[in-house]
Amino acid sequence: MTAMAESDLRILANPNDPSGAGLPSQGTGYDHDSLGLFQQRRSWGSAVQRMSATESTTLFVDALLTIPNWAGQPPWRAAQLVQKSAFDGRPTSANGYSAEVGENYLRQTDRAAGVLAVVERDASRLDCGASDVMPRGDSASHGLPEGYALPPDTSQQAATAIAFALAQLGKPYLWGGTGPDQFDCSGLTQAAWQRAGIPIGRTTWDQLRDGAPTIEAALVPGDLVLIPGSQGSLAAPGHMGMYLGHGLVIHAPRTGDVVKVTTLSAFTTSGVSGLRHIG
């Protein structure tokens, strides 16, 4: 969404910054000394960094993660807090007299969602950076394979917790959400195990200490899988999901997404912070 607004998803050179002249580009921009997908100025980093799709995205995400409660913001407002464009909510000639914070990014939300849909659909056969989403046969399944069934030796309490979690498929993510209509990752697992009669902590950090430790080879349905996520680390996980058996995990991913199912291997690509057996 941000890159579409800034560069129409092109890596742009700029004659005002000759250091980028010899680097691969897809066009030319003229905004101050801005370069690349996100039109980042010299203070962001070197020309090599700003004109690399990977490095410039890392610069953008690093800046995003410094913003308190960034995930609780509408995406276009979060983008504005990073980019500090002319669309700051104060109507001027520079922003077409717009009073909407981040309206230039807001205009790109539908296009961005369309690109994301293609990436998600093709993730099973293309290495296009969407390994954290599982291809789905139809939009209503939210990643749950057709014919999914619990392993026969699943405990009754785990079966209850999983049935509750699966009933939430498609519900939107909300930071701090504990249901019934919106969930964050730990809110979903807490509510699921509460339905099964087992209280666990509210946060990811709490649930890292709930139950008993286990190992991947011994995972059973209902176990909690904790990972660094986008804002944590191996020592302090920032995201989590619930194991469903058959190499699947259900989780509430992020703002703008919904409760869905992914593969365990995709879910743990950034490492495993903890595996907890609850009941």
Residue-wise pLDDT tens digits, 52-104: 988 899 899 989 989 988 888 899 999 999 999 999 999 999 999 999 999 99
| Region 171-197 average pLDDT | 94
**Count of Cβ atoms closer than 10 Å to residue 94 Cβ:** 12
Strand 274-277 with 239-245, pairing: unpaired
pLDDT attached to residue 22: 83
How confident is the model over 98-132, as pLDDT tens digits? 999 999 999 999 999 888 887 777 654 554 433 33
Sign of CA pseudo-dihedral 127, 128, 130, 136:
negative
**Which band of pLDDT confidence, cut at 50, 70 and 90, is reported for residue 270?**
confident
Contact status, residue 242 vs residue 151, Cβ threshold 8 Å: no
Catalytic residues: 185, 239, 251
| Region 249-263 average pLDDT | 93
pLDDT attached to residue 268: 93
Distance separating the N- and C-terminal Cα atoms of the chain: 42
* Residue 251 identity: H
